[in-house]
Structure 1
Amino acid sequence: MVSSKRIPTKHVLSHDALRNPIGWATATGLAVIAAILRMIGLGHPKELIFDETYYVKDAYSLWKYGTERAWPEEPNPNFVSGNPMPLDDPGYVVHPPLGKWMLSVGQMIFGQDSSFGWRFSAAIVGALTVFIIVRLAIRLFGSIWMGFIAGLLLMTDGEHFVHSRTALLDLFLMFFVLLGFWLLVIDRDYARTRMVELTTGNSQKKSADLSSFGPHLGWRPWRLAAGVALGCAMGVKWSGLYALAVFGIMIVVWDVRNRYLARVKYPLRGMLVRDSVPAFMSLVPVAFVAYVLCWSGWIFTDKGYDRHWAQEHQGWWSWLPDWIPSLAHYHHSAYKFHVGLSSEHPYASNPWGWIVQWRPTSFYYRSPEPGQNGCDWDKCSAAITSVGNPALWGVAAIALVIVLLAWLVRQDWRAGGIIAGMVATWAPWFTYQDRTIFTFYTIVMVPFVVLAVTYCVGLVWGRGRLTVSLRVRRILVGVFLAVAVLLFAYFWPLYTGTTVPYESWRQHMFNPSWI
């Protein structure tokens, strides 16, 4: 039989902060503010910056033709002026299509030549991630105040802000990874509550199957939804696969822990017997199906790159629908491109420096002449640099060490989840240090950095009777948040491409490696 003596019932069943309408209002309010901030001057600059030159045109091709098209030499001037001229040939691209489909929505609404429309989807999705992280932090920390802090830190982070105003893919990857993590945390709470109900008599349908392995927990819809989200993450960029793998291991640990706390005699075996197969089926096959569906435009049209490869190359695969071996060959070709990418780039960086934003990526830089483009000084600069808020990233490394210790020493599942997120979004890049990679990839890490810092802020904030010591600590928290907001305002010109005196731009370069 199962004993419930070790189940922290109060913790499992208490969701007051989650149900409180103030929590929903906080998440919604911060998301709306984030959206407004990201919409201000969103159409500037009226040109394709950085890798927008690839993804905006690919988004247009997907909208019009269902697959990416090739483009002639120097296509950007015509594209920007509203006269796109794609070739009739298929375009060879090395990232899946979902992120570009999402970018195409803005062009559908505002028109192909609207620079506001190019970036509209990114701004909306960026605001949605603020909503998600507030709700996630409230669930993790049981505090609306901690949810507010997490939302504020994400909203005012420079990496997040710049990506929310640029038509790149990585923000959409971050969105789906964060969404998948949030859904798995919801599922964990659901499973804990269900375990209590089935082992303490709180359920009207108390499980009769209380063997040494513990009860079946039944249908897990949140895990199924997480599988879809993580499949969509892979449908934006293949690096979403790392999140699927790491989060899969994470939920195994959570399932074993759930049965252990319920005093199941054999928690590991119980997980293997009761949870492992349903968990695998709700994540891996579901994610795979979601990923393949992201290629629907390529599958159901005949103009995609390598679409007819199987027809031109007969083999053992000939009995399969031709799109399957053709798509597999396309993936093999794209994989070879990725692993062989090692060209020189002035803003290439090493992942060791990402946690301190050692070499941020410049998305845009111009030196307007006096009297042009708002230049009222002798020498001017207009820049968009994807650099994180120094207040957040200045303490990020220390926060991660504290969170890691909290997981190892205190076995705090929240800390473990944050570490899992960091492993999924940061650790894989250490195996590609000989490749051309960039600090702006850290946008996918940002939510977990925010959660790590929020975790530590919660430790400083404390709880209980308001002593002098506690009052001082809370003042320090307030100062930290104020500094984060002020630094966000200070770096606004560097995030938005605003024309400023050259000396002002140099003053924003806190580290010579930023130039």
Structure 2
Amino acid sequence: MTTPGERAFDALVTDDRRPESPGEAVVAAPPAADARQASTWLDRWWGRMLSTPGRRRAWAWGGPLAVTLLAAALRLWHLNTPGTLVFDETYYVKDAWTLHELGYEGSWPADYDATFAQGGADGFLPAPSFVAHPPLGKWLISLGMAALGPADPAGWRLSTAIVGILAVALVAVIGSRLFRSTLVGTLAGFFMAIDGHAIVMSRVSLLDDFVMFFGLLAFGAVLLDRRSSAARLADWATRRRAADRDTAWGPALWARPWLVTAGLMCGLATAVKWNGLYFLAVFALYTVVVDMLARRRAGVEFWLSGTLFKQAPVSFLLTVPIALVAYLASWTGWFVTDGGYYRHWVEEGGERWTGALAWVPDVVQNFWHYEAGVYAFNIGLQTPHDYQANPFTWLLMLRPTSMYYQGSDLGQGACDVTRCGEAITSIANPVIWYAAVAACAYLLYRLVRHRDWRHGAILVGVAAGYLPWLAYSGRTVFQFYTIAFEPYLLLGLAAVLGIVLGDRTDPIDRRRSGIGVTAIVVVLAVAVTIFFYPMWTAQLEDWEWIRLHYWIPSWK
């Protein structure tokens, strides 16, 4: 429920005069006789279905819940298949278990994957292992292993599956609140639930799903901060007009718990992989720009100076320190144990700092040396890989990552044809992916043309997860990194379908065509998911049938 201050600010920041919810305006009031005759049968039926406050509340909860349950079914089914470590699970699963047992990432004997999968989780060595990513994601993976046991492949993947399921719920809720439409939000969540890339990344134990999840939580917190701060600014403007003693600089807006939350979530994302820093930087910059524009529209006399000299430092102090604390807290195991990599680098002959920094404790110098080594490794990683994908091609999805493939011949196992195969490939649902990319391109046009802040917010999410990678086009990177910004692509697709769908007040031919186009996209997306689902879940299939899924030669 919006407050008068929030509604006043909404009128200041957007020229959007459309009904609150495309497709849901039908429940606002019973239509007149002429309107009933001019509306589609679907609008009339939907109006009857949501004709009471109780039914509308049930839909507001039921839509996001339904797509969340669908996501759970698609992600948890046969989660223990395959029963071997796939792709980079060989690093993260084993590192997760040594974190659980030692407090730091230990090392393993060479070629140990098969033994580990057969129950040899106690074969780790106490010697530390150099790891390229912070520990939080591996700590989270270890929770599933502790719950189901390190010998159960479902335990390896349980945490990523749960995070992938919760991400679907988040997308649905954020979309519903952002566009004030349960229908648009549920569509966004539905696309996330059935998309192959999102499914695969929830069914293999990699780190990127956690980055996506914490980044999405930060995005939701930024939107809530925008909403609450807008109300405070509108109330300030009201008091100023009433000759209150507020200054022409505008409110400092220190009381911003949602901005602190956003900083915390970005810190947790960074504690999984360092690309979480991009979300912190972009979202912090976004809040400063939003504050500046809001002050100008509210009539603050010193709107630019007030933002740069008052609000920008406040935003920095409310986000960066808490993010740093969250990041350092994720390394607690390294600090409180003695076995971590470089834990005693200085004491073992490393070059101790001198001069003005000589007072810095050895443990801090050791940690800094470790972080510098990780930075050098990540920046310089240029080892060729069969499935590396240049970031400039990510939106075209030219080189999806093959996570797993196992071939078999007639008579081997359950193979009853000449050649069989089991595959896990992160090919996104092509209908959803390419439609979402096109939709976000269209939103960029609409942002310039109509200045709808909601579209701008979605594009900021895409930019935070994608654009910084363009600076590392020479580095070894992969298509599956796109999971970090895929939720925003899907929110963009749902937003455009909401525009296409229109509302019941539109001319009936336009309304019918909007419903038809939306229905076609949804039906095609479902059909493609059914077709590709075995390729996302390592089901045994005829090789000739598998080949039908490589629509682009570079997908092989």
TM bracket (short chain)? over 0.9
Cα displacement string for residues 265-295 of structure 1 (whole angstroms, at most 9, x for unaligned residues): 2222222344222211111111111111111
Matches within 5 A, 1:26-175: 26-84=63-121, 85-175=123-213
1:509 aligns with 2:550: yes
Paired position in structure 1 for 2:511: 470
Structure 1 letter corresponding to 2:250:
G
- Cα distance in 2 between the residues matched to 1:318 and 1:70: 32
Partner residue in 2 for 1:250? 286
Query: In structure 1, how many angstroms separate the alpha carbons of the residues matched to 2:429 and 2:295?
Result: 41
Distance 2:58 2:252 in 1: 33
For residue 525 of structure 2, what is the aligned residue in structure 1? 484
The answer as to whether partners of 1:199 and 1:207 remain within 8 angstroms in 2 is no
Q: What is the match of residue 432 of structure 1?
A: 472
Alignment check: 8 A CA contact 1:72 1:86 kept: yes
2: CA distance, partners of 1:478 / 1:80: 44
Q: Distance in 1 between matches of 2:555 and 2:7?
A: 55
CA contact (8 A) 1:177 1:229 kept: yes
What per-residue deviation string (whole Å, max 9, x for no partner) do you get for residues 351-373 of structure 1?
Answer: 12211211100000111222334
* 1:362 counterpart letter in structure 2: S
Matched to 2:63, the amino acid is: T
8 Å CA contact 1:5–1:263 kept in 2: the answer is no
Whichever residue aligns with residue 243 of structure 1, its letter is F
- Specify the alignment match of 1:326 in structure 2: 366
TM-score of the pair, normalised by structure 2: 0.87
Shift in CA distance, 248/10, structure 1 to aligned 2, threshold 3 Å: closer
Tell me which of 246, 249, 256 is aligned to 1:210. 246
In the TM superposition, what whole-angstrom CA distance separates every residue of 1:254-275 from its partner, at most 9, and x where no partner exists?
1112212212222222223442
- Once residues 65 and 250 of structure 1 are traced to their aligned partners in structure 2, the CA distance between those partners, rounded to angstroms, is 40
Please, what is the CA RMSD of the aligned residues? 2.4
C-alpha offsets along residues 374-402 of structure 1, whole Å, 9 cap, x if unaligned? 32211111110001111112223322221
The CA distance in 1 between the partners of 2:271 and 2:540, in whole Å, is: 37
Is 1:382 equivalent to 2:422 in the alignment?
A: yes
What is the identity, as a one-letter code, of the residue corresponding to 1:165? R
Q: How many residues align?
A: 509
Q: CA deviation at 1:326?
A: 0.9
Matches within 5 A, 1:165-244: 165-200=203-238, 208-244=244-280
Instruction: Name the structure 1 match of 2:29.
Output: none
- Aligned pair partner of 2:435 in 395, 408, 427: 395
Deviation, 1:65, is: 0.6
Q: Aligned equivalents of 1:9 and 1:402: distance in 2?
A: 24
Letter of the structure 2 residue corresponding to residue 383 of structure 1: A
User: Do the aligned residues in 1 keep the contact of 2:9 with 2:231 (CA within 8 Å)?
Assistant: no
Structure 2 residue ranges without an equivalent (≥5): 25-55
User: Partner amino acid for 1:236?
Assistant: V
Shift of 1:215: 2.5
CA 1:314–1:188 in 2, change beyond 3 Å: closer, same or farther? same
Distance 1:438 1:458 in 2: 32
Matched to 1:150, the amino acid is A
- In the alignment, what sits opposite 1:268? 304
Structure 1 position 464, deviation (Å)? 4.2
Identity of aligned residues (%): 37
CA distance in 1, matches of 2:515, 2:124: 58
Does the CA contact (< 8 Å) of 2:267 and 2:327 recur in 1?
A: yes
Quickly say closer, same or farther: Cα 1:196–1:44, change in 2 above 3 A: same
1:284 to 320, 323, 329: 320
Judge conservation of contact 2:501–2:515 (CA < 8 Å) in 1.
yes
Bigger shift: residues 403-412 or 349-358: 403-412
Are 1:460 and 2:500 counterparts? yes
Residue-by-residue CA offset, 1:440-486 (whole Å, 9 max, x unaligned): 11111211111121221121111242511221111110110111111
Please tell me whether the aligned partners of residues 6 and 227 of structure 2 are also in contact (alpha carbons under 8 angstroms).
no
Distance in 1 separating the partners of 2:306 and 2:57 = 35
Residue 333 of structure 2 is aligned to residue 297 of structure 1: yes
2:409 equivalent to 1:369: yes
Deviations 1:99-143 (A, max 9, x none): 000100111000010100000001100011011111111121111
Q: 1:389 to 1:74 in 2, by over 3 A?
A: same
Greater mean deviation of Cα atoms: 344-353 or 58-67 = 344-353
Which residue identity lines up with residue 120 of structure 1 in the other structure?
A: L
Name the counterpart of 1:450: 490
Q: Could you tell me whether the CA contact under 8 Å between 2:221 and 2:258 is conserved in 1?
A: yes
Higher mean C-alpha displacement, 326-335 vs 406-415: 406-415
Contact in 1 for aligned 2:352/2:365 (Cα 8 Å): no
Write the distance in 2 (CA, Å) between the matches of 1:5 and 1:29.
Answer: 30
The residue type paired with residue 33 of structure 1 is L
C-alpha distance 406-368 of structure 1, shift in aligned 2 (>3 A) = same
Q: Secondary structure at the match of 2:395?
A: helix
| CA spacing shift, 1:279–1:69, aligned 2, 3 Å | same
Aligned counterparts of 1:246 and 1:209: Cα–Cα separation in 2: 34
The alpha carbon displacement at 1:315 in A equals 2.2
Determine the structure 2 residue equivalent to 1:441: 481
Query: How many Å separate the matches in 2 of 1:38 and 1:242?
Result: 28
Q: Relative to 1, partners in 2 of residues 1:351 and 1:147: Cα closer, same or farther, differing over 3 Å?
A: same
User: Tell me, what secondary structure is at the counterpart of 1:89?
Assistant: strand
Moved over 4 A (4+): 3-6, 9-12, 14-17, 206-209
Distance in 1 separating the partners of 2:245 and 2:308:
16
* Contact 1:252 1:276 survives alignment (8 Å): yes
Question: Structure 1 residues 379 and 403 mapped into 2: Cα distance closer, same or farther (>3 Å)?
Answer: same
Matched, 1:422 2:459: no
CA distance in 2: counterparts of 1:129 and 1:300, whole angstroms = 32
Asked if the contact 1:162/1:495 (under 8 Å) is kept, the reply is yes
Change (3 A) 1:8 1:168: closer
Q: By how many angstroms is 1:21 displaced?
A: 5.0
Cα gap change, 1:10 to 1:486, in 2 (>3 Å) = farther
Q: Which amino acid aligns with 1:514?
A: W
Could you tell me whether the CA contact under 8 Å between 2:87 and 2:403 is conserved in 1?
yes
Which deviates more from structure 2 when the two are superposed, residues 450-459 or residues 496-505?
450-459
Unaligned runs of 5+ in 1: none
